[in-house]
Amino acid sequence: MCGTDSPASINKGSLPSANGNGTRSPTCSSDRVLNLEQGDPSVFQSYWSKMEDKCTMVISGSQLMSYISDFTTLCWFMEPEFQEAVRRLHRVVGNAVVDDRYIVVGTGSTQLYQAALYALTSPGGPEPVSVVSAAPYYSAYPEETDYLRSGLYKWAGDAYEFDKNGTGPYIEVVNSPNNPDGTLREAVVTNRGDEGKLIHDLAYYWPQYTPIIRPADHDIMTFTFSKSTGHAGSRIGWAVVKDKEVARKMSKFIEMSTLGVSKDSQQRAAKIMGVICDGYKNFKSDELFFEHTRRVMAERWERLRQVVDRNQVFSLPKYPKQYCLFSGELIEPYPGFAWLEAKEEEEEIDSQKVLRGCIKVQGRTGSRFGVAQKYTRVSLLSNEEVFKEFLERLSTIKSMTSNGH
Amino acid sequence: MCGTDSPASINKGSLPSANGNGTRSPTCSSDRVLNLEQGDPSVFQSYWSKMEDKCTMVISGSQLMSYISDFTTLCWFMEPEFQEAVRRLHRVVGNAVVDDRYIVVGTGSTQLYQAALYALTSPGGPEPVSVVSAAPYYSAYPEETDYLRSGLYKWAGDAYEFDKNGTGPYIEVVNSPNNPDGTLREAVVTNRGDEGKLIHDLAYYWPQYTPIIRPADHDIMTFTFSKSTGHAGSRIGWAVVKDKEVARKMSKFIEMSTLGVSKDSQQRAAKIMGVICDGYKNFKSDELFFEHTRRVMAERWERLRQVVDRNQVFSLPKYPKQYCLFSGELIEPYPGFAWLEAKEEEEEIDSQKVLRGCIKVQGRTGSRFGVAQKYTRVSLLSNEEVFKEFLERLSTIKSMTSNGH
């Protein structure tokens, strides 16, 4: 049983403390650490392997050489084929309003988040604008907001807290479905006049993860190729923006940050989105991307809940079924992450450390998301082999606090 | 003759003032504005067209999907093939020392410049660190340094000025060969103890533009796929870095800025660099990239100097011949930009406005580079058709200040 090979290294009967040495024996379970900290979307790779010939991108040596895609448009470095593909995909899925909206391409939604902060602030204010998001919030927001010590904006933490005690202009980031906990969200700060602005991070608002309850229609909505189709290595994201001036400032940010966005990847994204949309047009059921990937995610969640229910050490969020406009059915969310909460009462339980120490599963601690460390986020987007190994290891944990796990 | 079709719109006998309406009649010369403001490297496209089959990049739908390239390395999002290709290219060209150096990939050298600023500064200093570069300096540095109002660093202008009057910690950016004026440069600020740090922007230190006088060996050197091979649309750059901690911080910046760099483009860059290096290995003279492109640049400079000498309105920098280690010959620099200086004595002459107004050539004014507006930078990297049209139009200018041009 896990943890029994080298008892000297284990704090018997109690959890390793947050600051103590929580590393268990390396012979505990397998030697290999399963890295499930990032949301690397390998789960979708098998689908694309089957689509190989349709999706193959061919770029000759003399193509896509210019900085410029179309100097007559606001986002002059965006490939027209990419923009068309994005609009078509949203129309097929019905997850966002794109008519009469501006599209801005970015180097992943990470860059677009920063572009939006830049676009929503102006130099010369007395204080940097407060940026908030409801806890548990995406763990990268604080760092991405503060690493350059910008005079334009600063991270101000949990939006619920800001709603109670914060003052002054703010930007609230609404991440829906939320990373890490998978819930569908609305803004939480009560707006005071025109002090508040919103960014909607809709990276996971796709049918494999969540019911599509309405076509989203917010001022700034960001999406990413990484989570929609699984192509994280291409670093492609896009924003759907209502206001022309905001779209222009976001484009300007990307110009100053990276002088545009890889055309190779824009063209590849356009091709792959086109293959998805063609599938729905031709309706060959064995090829439909979102049905296939939702089945995979549903099956993973079923297997995960069985293990979690059986060993009674963690709990998982319960999600209500909702009517999905895309599938025409009442469906459950199947988030890309398991948001594991240790069932023990103590808030101090460090479930990340237990998972890492005992079964060599690397998740990300709740404290990175602004909540207690009894929570750990674990990616469910790995390939099947890793996911299966994760479940096998998880099933060996019998208790958070005793030597029996 | 240019400017004679609609004399009412011309300020006879004098230049349009900087604030006045300098736009000449739209029937002046051709209606089409030649945009030579950016250094879009279309000149190299014809070479790559001939190499088509060797350079064609093929990416299947299931390849390059992960965020991660190699988690065991410092720059975990860098494709190993890209890193190898970069080292091989520098060894073939001999323009930079790469043994025992770290390579960091970026979304163009624009991102790497910012990564270097981040890596060379630390939060908590009393003042942002001054960033300087000798005028005329690359026009994008001020904006790329200041757009986020960082508390870590701030643009402080001309390095010569800073050397005389500046105080405190600083970063000097040494751009060599320099954009806009093509000169080979050294740092100019006299170092005071350890207050100064250097970034060497070597975007144009390739044999088609300049003699390779030695393998560059500085603390941080940045290069770009855009200028080395002409593939600007891929947004790929790299840094060669001596210090491990600096390389680690630069990688961390890129992680926070864009969560990595397009793998599609990294792989394409690796392939194209490989084709160049294979050419030198196999030594088929009709295929050699740098010889071909240097011939093209040399020929362009010859044609340009003929026109400029003939109409006696502008002057161009004179460059000394230097021994090039790569070609084994004494050769002249052939910069990617013409740095045109109006010969008239008045400093206020706005040569950008004259070029735009009279012959509809869009350059970039000297004032963007920190010097007088009698200077204008004009790209020489357009395709042949545009370059030829530029020379034809330029030859029609007979005077900066009279109606006779």
Residue A397 pLDDT > 80: yes
Whether residues A265 and B262 touch (CB distance < 8 A) is answered with yes
Per-residue pLDDT band for B285 (boundaries 50, 70, 90) equals low
Cβ neighbours of B44 in A, within 8 Å: 65
> Lowest mean pLDDT: which of A3-12, A221-230, A384-393, B91-100?
A3-12
ipTM: 0.92
Q: Which of A58, A150, A234 sits opposite B263 (nearest CB)?
A: A234
Q: Which residues of chain B make contact with A231, given a CB cutoff of 8 A? A: 64-65
Q: How far is CA B84 from CA A137, A187, A282, B104, B287, in A?
A: 39, 47, 43, 12, 22
> B-chain residues within 8 Å CB-CB of A55?
60-62
Q: Which helix (H) or strand (E) holds A386?
A: helix A384-394
Nearest CA in chain A to B275: A61
In this prediction, residues B188-216 reach a mean pLDDT of: 94
Indicate which of A43, A44, A257, A362 best probes the interface with B, i.e. most B CBs within 10 Å of its own CB. Answer: A257
- Tell me how far apart the alpha carbons of residues B4 and B376 are, in angstroms, rounded to a whole number: 24
Could you give the CA distance from residue B87 to residue B92 in angstroms, rounded to a whole number? 9
Q: At what angle do helices B263-282 and B289-311 cross, to 10 degrees?
A: 90
Measured CA to CA, the distance from residue A289 to residue A282 in angstroms comes to 13
Tell me what the mean pLDDT of segment A98-125 comes to: 96
Count CB neighbours of A159 within 10 A: 25
CA–CA separation, A282 vs A260, rounded Å?
Answer: 34
Q: How confident is the model at residue A286 (pLDDT cuts 50, 70, 90)?
A: low
Residues from chain A that touch B64, judged by Cβ atoms under 8 A, are 231, 233-234
- What pLDDT shows up at residue B399? 79
Q: Per-residue confidence at B333, pLDDT binned at 50, 70, 90?
A: very high
Strands A153-158 and A129-133: parallel
For tokens 């002059």, the residue is A76
Q: Do B111 and A68 touch (CB under 8 A)?
A: no
CA distance A207 to A292: 10
Give the alpha-carbon dihedral of B278, B280, B282, B284, to 10 degrees. 120
pLDDT at A179: 98
Q: Would you place residue A404 in the very low, low, confident or very high pLDDT band (cuts 50, 70, 90)?
A: very low
pLDDT, tens digit, 9 for 90 and up, residues A338-381: 999 999 776 689 999 999 999 999 999 999 999 999 999 999 99
Cβ distance A180 to A377 under 8 Å?
yes
- A67–B150: do the CB atoms touch at under 8 Å? no
- When pLDDT is cut at 50, 70 and 90, the band that residue A176 belongs to is very high
C-alpha–C-alpha distance, residues B32 and B277, integer Å: 39
Q: How confident is the model at residue A14 (pLDDT cuts 50, 70, 90)?
A: very low
pLDDT score of B123: 84
- The reply to whether B64 touches chain A by the CB within 8 Å rule is yes
Tens of pLDDT along B104-138?
999 999 999 999 999 999 987 789 999 999 999 99
Q: For B53, which residue in chain A has the nearest alpha carbon? A: A60
Q: What integer pLDDT is reported at residue A23 of this predicted model?
A: 31
For A92-109, write each residue's pLDDT tens digit: 999 999 999 999 999 999
pLDDT value of residue B10: 28
Do the Cβ atoms of B59 and A57 come within 8 Å? yes
CB of A8 less than 8 A from some CB of B: no
Task: State how far residue A302 is from chain B, nearest Cα, in angstroms.
Answer: 25
Highest mean pLDDT among A13-27, B41-55, B375-389: B375-389
How confident is the model over A30-56, as a mean pLDDT?
A: 91
Interchain contact, A260 vs B233, CB within 8 Å: yes
Predicted local distance difference test score (pLDDT) of residue A12: 29
A265–B265 C-beta distance less than 8 A: yes
Residue pair B164/B149 in contact by the 8 Å Cβ criterion: no
Q: For A153, name the nearest residue in chain B, comparing CA atoms only.
A: B148
Alpha carbon B289 to its chain centroid, in Å, reads 19
Contact B129, B118 (CB under 8 A): no
Q: Nearest by CB to A61, from B52, B110, B114: name it.
A: B52
Using an 8 Å CB-CB cutoff, list chain B residues near A272. Answer: 61
Q: Could you tell me how many residues make up chain B?
A: 405
Quick one: closest CA in A to B45, which residue?
A62
B73 interface with A at CB cutoff 8 Å: no
pLDDT at B30: 61
Does residue A405 register a pLDDT over 60? no
Q: Do B257 and A114 touch (CB under 8 A)?
A: yes
Find all residues with CB under 8 Å of B98, minimum gap 6, and list them: B86, B87, B90, B91, B240
pLDDT of B16 above 60: no
User: To the nearest whole percent, how much of chain A has pLDDT over 70?
Assistant: 90
Query: By the CB < 8 Å criterion, does B352 face chain A?
Result: no
Q: How far is B111 from chain A (nearest CA, A)?
A: 5
Identify which of B51, B59, B149 has the shortest CB distance to residue A61.
B51
* Dist CA A276 CA A282 (whole Å): 10
Distance CA A297, CA A204 (A): 13
Is there a cis peptide before residue A177, judged by omega within 30 degrees of 0? yes
Q: Which string of b and e fits A395-404 if b means at least 16 CB within 10 Å? A: ebbebbbebe
Cβ–Cβ gap A257/B35 under 8 Å: no
Give the per-residue pLDDT at A30: 61
Residues of A in contact with B49 (CB under 8 A): 61-62
Q: How far apart are CA B168 and CA B195, in angstroms?
A: 7
Q: What is the mean pLDDT of chain B?
A: 90
pLDDT at A21: 32
Q: Report the number of secondary-structure helices (H) and strands (E) in chain B.
A: 12, 16
pLDDT at residue B284 in the model: 66
The pLDDT, as a whole number, for residue B15 is: 26
Low-confidence winner among A70-79, A364-373, B12-21, B365-374 (lowest mean pLDDT): B12-21
- d(CA A71, nearest CA chain B) in Å: 10
Q: What is the mean pLDDT of chain A?
A: 90
R_g over Cα of chain B = 22
User: pLDDT tens for residues A232-282?
Assistant: 999 999 999 999 999 999 999 999 999 999 999 999 999 999 999 999 988
Residues with Cβ < 8 Å from A147, sequence gap 6 or more? B118, B253, B256
Q: How confident is the model at residue B261 (pLDDT cuts 50, 70, 90)?
A: very high
A-B contacts at Cβ under 8 angstroms:
212
